[in-house]
Amino acid sequence: MILNGYEIAEKRREQLKEKIEELKNLRIIPKLAVIQVGSNDASNIYIRNKKNTCEKVGIEFELYSYEETITFEELKEEISKLNKDKKIHGILVQSPLPKHLNESEVFNVIQKEKDVDGFTTENIGALWNNKTGLISCTPKGIITLLKEYQIKIEGKHVVILGRSNIVGKPLALLFLNENASVTILHSKSKDIKTLTAQADILVSAVGKPNLVTKDMVKKGAIVIDVGINRIDGHIKGDVDFESVSEIASYITPVPKGVGPMTIESILENVIEAIELQRQKKKDLLK
């Protein structure tokens, strides 16, 4: 069975629109600020997609573009202004950043209640402690997708290929918080096939086409393909979809699998950010 991220994202977007209308009745117009330093084609496409999707659901979008030569101190000042701006509810820094800027240092300037990417140390700490916070979008989208299909996570053995800060690591924590047992594999892991073949849920977040083949997958496993590989103008995942879909019980396609769920999670995080900011304001008034 195909896990159709595109359809689920569309469905959830309709529900989100209702929440946004309720906020508008309270005179709150959700707004996302995206920060871009320098420019590259892939980032421009991602930003355009985010803008279009935001505008479709009624979230205002504003792009803040800076020269590639901007210093950390200058960027910090700009982000601090957005932190203070009450009309902005979510802030997202488009990566990659130029080499002279340390991504983690830049992310950490963002106020945690506006960190819709969930990349600040405080939000990562909240995830680590299984506490409320904004969760990074691709991992959140994957868990949402599984829950939408009512797939039980508890007790499952999850094997994740990839240990990046934006996908592999936060996803492992999310699965652990859902009471799964988790194995994380990476480029230095040995005997990968033996381990992937034990997975009830296998996630590939590497960025190598056809990395996951049928012989690596247990019959009836759930296969989640996060990879995005551009080949001859087409987008392919990490999983050899044709052969693996013959034995998997559920599988995400690429495109229309994890990608739309990531975008959907950004939108949902903007609305969650508003709730967190309202709660913070109430707590300060106590």
- Report the catalytic residues: 50, 94, 117
Indicate whether 190 belongs to the interface with ligand NAP (CB under 6 A): no
Nearest distance from C-beta of residue 23 to ligand NAP, angstroms: 26
Q: For residue 282, how many other CB atoms are within 10 A of its CB?
A: 9
Q: Determine if 210 is a binding residue for ligand NAP (CB under 6 A).
A: no
Cβ proximity to ligand NAP, 70 vs 106, nearer residue: 106
Comparing CB distances to ligand NAP, the nearer of 37 and 254 is 254
235 lines the binding site for ligand NAP (CB under 6 A): no
Q: Does 207 bind ligand NAP (CB under 6 A)?
A: yes
**Closer CB to ligand NAP, 70 or 263, in the complex:** 263
87 CB-near residues (< 8 Å, 6+ apart): 29, 31
Antiparallel, parallel or unpaired: β 157-161 and 201-204: parallel
Inter-axis angle of helices 258-285 and 41-57, to 10 degrees?
Answer: 60
> Is position 239 an interface residue for ligand NAP (rule: CB under 6 A)?
no
User: Encoding tokens for residue 23?
Assistant: 């906020």
Contact region with ligand NAP (CB under 6 A), list: 23-31, 32-40, 118-126, 163-171:
163-171
Contact between 166 and ligand NAP (CB under 6 A)? yes
Structure tokens at 57: 């659901």
Q: How many CA atoms lie within 13 A of 202 on its CB side?
A: 32
Closest-CA residue to 133 (of 177, 102, 94) = 177
Please tell me the distance from the alpha carbon of residue 174 to that of residue 284, in angstroms, as a whole number.
Answer: 30
DSSP 3-state of 183: strand
Q: Is 258 in the site for ligand NAP (CB under 6 A)?
A: yes
What minimum distance in Å lies between the beta carbon of 95 and ligand NAP?
9
The residues binding ligand NAP (CB under 6 A) are 138, 161-164, 166-168, 185-189, 192, 205-208, 211, 226-229, 258-259, 262
